[in-house]
Structure 1
Amino acid sequence: MKIIFMGTPEFSVPSLARLINEFEVCAVFTQPDRPKGRGKNLAMSPIKQLAISHDIPVYQPIRIKKNEEIIEVIKNLKPDFIVVVAFGQILPKEVLDIPKYGCINLHASLLPKYRGAAPINWCIINGETKSGNTTMLMDVGIDTGDMFLTEEVELTSTITAGELHDILSNSGGELLVKTIKGIVDNEIVPVKQGDEINSYAPMLNKKMANINWADSNANIHNFIRGLNPTQVAYTHYDNGVMKIYKSRAIDEESNKSIGSIIEVSKEGIKVSTGSGILLIEEIQFPGKKPLKVKDYIIGNKIEEGIILN
């Protein structure tokens, strides 16, 4: 079983590792090396590092679409499958039609909900109680192809995007193996996606991470969880930026102004919201490490009465 794997970030690594153990991965496609760190030195993607460690040929086209040379390479490899996990490029129909059994994608949501670039973040931001992985047959749309298998994960009210990322990343490889074997053995019937419950999960950006304190404490809590640890939710405290990693919605009401710091203690920072009180438990200021509030206030002061915005 000859497989071309396409992926880039850390999320894709367990999937590639599982496929290497189970099949013949004849080539890996990943995004070009990018500047990273303070020195802005070029760094390989996690997928490229794993491929090189297994002596698998690596291709890094800036863009596959309309790149006749790279499309010819894919054709000459004669893959049974192309497997895509967070690659970062849209494949043209010319490439989708090359593999014997098709192009298979692992998507980190229960499709058709949360199609798009940031499904893990948005399902938590929106307060979902379950998520999971879906394997699908790729078409020219964005995460719109027929579905093969799904695997559900129950979500607690405290799970962060980073924690869900690791759960889905680690379980995705096994779902891909089951999907590939099921397709070859004619044991899986693809199911068309319905559009009645579809939603889109757009890419995150720093500007959107600013907390709106007029929202409810529950929604702000979900917002903080959903941005941890990628963008990290933030607010402005005394003309400076305070990043917030961890919080808790408290079943109390406040008559203070929205965004007001009501109380500061070892328990955390109580803030008045549009509905209820939010307890901030872990914070970070510029140039400092993230700290639990109880540790931060040992040598620093958070003023009560200041309005966050």
Structure 2
Amino acid sequence: MKVIFMGTPDFAVATLDALVKAGYEIPLVITQPDRPKGRHGEAQKSDVRIAAEGYGIRVATPERIRKDEALKAEMRALAPDVIVVTAFGQILPKDILEIPKYGCVNVHASLLPKYRGAAPVQWAVLNGDAESGVTTMQMDEGLDTGDILMMKRIPLEAKETGGTLFDKLAKLGGELIVETLEGLEAGSITPVPQDASQATKVGLFTKTSGRIDWTEDAVVIERKIRGLNPWPSAYSFLGGKQLKLWDADVLTDAECKQYPLPEVAVMMPEQDRTMPEGTKAGHVYADQKMLVVRCGRGALLIRELQLEGKKRMKAEDFLRGHRF
């Protein structure tokens, strides 16, 4: 079975690795162009490009694939049996979707039709889902709207983060694409249309997406801390400096009363102290061992944090070295 692979970030590398290990012929990999990254803004290759070049596979990097007629002609000449797409980052036009014998198959990190679009992994954690998974889908001209081919589910752990779930689903996607291609070749898969009435769409996160609103429930904020770990990370401000929060436990209002800690600070910039009158949301309570922040409902017992310019550390270590 001849496969053209399309993908860009590290999540897609697991799919490419699985295809190579399964022995599929991959004459071409298509990924996004090199983009500026890092402090100095130097152009860097995508994770998929690095992996593909390591395997000795030819790589194409179209700026806009729908307008790249030369690349389309090359793809037709290769006559692939299937095109596998994982987090490529561009919508494929009809004339590309129609090239392969088995069409274009997408590996999507959610249980479709839930979480169509970008960043589905983080949203599963943010919304407190009990399970997540990977779907292989027969691509059409819409955004994650094609028929479902296969699906695998996994439960979310109590302390699941966006990073840990990302790794699990990347591995699962590699396993599922091999099973899907085997099923397509054997004719044993019956595509199932998605229930559009159950569809949800999610978008990309930015560096400011992790800013904490302390008037929200502690449960919601704790999920944000886990869901946006490692990027873009949940953060607030303490003493005019950004403070990233990496781990926390939820305390109910009743549990808060068990800890008669002194109030030591407010976790937000001076100009943002626009809380409703009488609220204690964002107020920090601490002694030498415990750091608690009140929320709109309940509170968070902070376990791990990182003050701007400092390394990531346990809350107890932070409290030993910080003066409020």
Q: Name the TM tier (shorter chain).
A: over 0.9
Supply the distance in 2 between the matched residues of 1:41 and 1:16 (Cα, whole angstroms): 26
Aligned position for 1:13: 13
Give me the whole-angstrom Cα distance separating, in 2, the residues matched to 1:215 and 1:19: 44
1:130 maps to what in 2?
Answer: 131
- Partner SS for 1:48: helix
Equivalent residue letter for 1:162: G
Deviations 1:200-219 (A, max 9, x none): 11111123221111111111
Q: 1:307 — aligned with what? A: none
* CA deviation after TM superposition for structure 1 residue 257, in Å: 1.0
* Structure 2 equivalent of residue 213 of structure 1: 214
User: Does the 8 A contact of 2:250 with 2:298 survive in 1?
Assistant: yes
What amino acid maps onto 1:15 in structure 2? T
| Cα displacement (A) at 1:258 | 1.1
Q: State the 1:265 CA deviation.
A: 4.2
> C-alpha separation between the residues in 1 aligned to 2:161 and 2:18?
25
Q: Distance in 1 between matches of 2:71 and 2:301?
A: 53
Q: Any conservation in 2 of the 1:256–1:272 contact (CA below 8 Å)?
A: no
Q: 1:264 to 1:43 in 2, by over 3 A?
A: farther
With 236-245 and 117-126 compared, the bigger mean Cα shift is at 236-245
Shift of 1:288: 2.1
Once residues 192 and 286 of structure 2 are traced to their aligned partners in structure 1, the CA distance between those partners, rounded to angstroms, is 53
Q: Closer, same or farther in 2 for the Cα pair 1:208/1:41, shift >3 Å? A: closer
Displacement, 1:81? 0.6
Counterpart for residue 236 of structure 1: 237
Partner of 1:283: 305
Aligned residues of 1:103 and 1:137 also touching (Cα < 8 A): yes
Q: What is the aligned-residue identity percentage?
A: 43
Taking the aligned partners of 1:138 and 1:208, their CA distance within structure 2 comes to 30
Shift of residue 252, structure 1, vs aligned partner: 3.3
Partner-residue secondary structure (3-state), 1:196: helix
Match of 1:261 in 2: 284
Superposed displacement of residue 26, structure 1:
1.1
TM-score, normalised to structure 1's length?
0.94
Query: Which runs of at least 4 in structure 1 moved beyond 3 Å after TM superposition?
Result: 252-256
Which residue type is aligned with residue 257 of structure 1?
K
Bigger mean CA deviation after superposition, 246-255 or 54-63: 246-255
Residue in 1 that maps onto 2:56: 55
Give me the whole-angstrom Cα distance separating, in 1, the residues matched to 2:253 and 2:288. Answer: 16
Q: Size of the alignment, in residue pairs? A: 301
Q: 1:91 and 1:109 mapped to 2: Cα distance?
A: 20
Q: TM-score, normalised by structure 2?
A: 0.89
Query: What is the aligned counterpart of 1:270 among 292, 299, 307?
Result: 292
Matching of residues 26-65 of structure 1 within 5 Å: 26-65=27-66
Gaps of at least 5 residues in structure 1 are 304-309
In 2, Cα distance between the equivalents of 1:146 and 1:193?
6
Deviation at 1:197, TM superposition (A): 2.0
- 1:110 maps to a residue whose letter is L
Q: Offset at 1:264?
A: 4.1
Shift, 1:14, TM fit: 1.4
Post-superposition Cα deviations, 1:71-93, rounded to whole Å, max 9, x if no partner, equal 11211111111000111111111
Amino acid at match of 2:280: S
Residue 317 of structure 2 is aligned to residue 295 of structure 1: yes
Aligned-pair RMSD on alpha carbons? 1.4
Equivalent residue runs for 1:99-110 within 5 Å? 99-110=100-111
SS of 1:208's partner is coil
Runs (5+) with no aligned partner, structure 2:
257-277
**How far does the alpha carbon of each residue in 1:234-261 deviate from its partner, in whole angstroms, 9 at most, with x for none?**
1121222111111111133459611111
Q: Could you tell me how far 1:276 is from its partner in structure 2?
A: 0.7
